[in-house]
Amino acid sequence: MNIESDDIVKVVVELYLDLSEESDNALRLVFNIAEELLDKHNIWVEIIPVHVWFTDPIEQEAMDLPKIFINGKLRFIGRTPTRRELIEAIKEHINIPPRRASAWEITYTRILDGGLPQVAEV
């Protein structure tokens, strides 16, 4: 696809975030770059923020957030990329079909004895 054409190209950027300042900076950066790419290069960046909540601090450290997926590919983990890195990564993924990073779907739920749902992932 030609970036310079009048057609708008779509790229999906999915962010897994927590309540840290690093995650906030990543989200702000993606929004700023999305606006710039649409204005200058006709690249539509669809932003999907996913806020992850933790009850255990050890689990939070193990997740290493923020995570940034571009068209379903994990590109950045545990840090906010620089402006240049993010723009280059988005432009690299223009020819890859857009899709969500989550490859599983909930097929059914079943209520157990304790009242908690059991979810089957595919």
pLDDT, mean of each 10-residue run, the chain (122 residues): 63 91 94 94 92 77 86 91 94 72 47 47 44
How many angstroms separate the CA atoms of 51 and 49, rounded?
Answer: 6
- The 10 Å CB-count burial string (b at 16+, else e) for 7-43 is eebebbbbbbbbeeeebeebbebbeebbeebeeebeb
Given this model, what pLDDT does residue 61 score? Answer: 73
**Which burial class, exposed, middle or buried, applies to 71 when counting CB atoms under 10 A from its CB (0-12, 13-18, 19+)?**
buried
Would you list the domain boundaries of the chain? 9-121
* pLDDT at position 97: 62
- Rounded to two decimals, the pTM is 0.70
Name the superfamily (CATH) of residues 9-121: Glutaredoxin (3.40.30.10)
Q: Which residues contact 99 (CB under 8 A, 6 or more apart)?
A: 12, 71, 72
Tokens representing 5? 């054409």
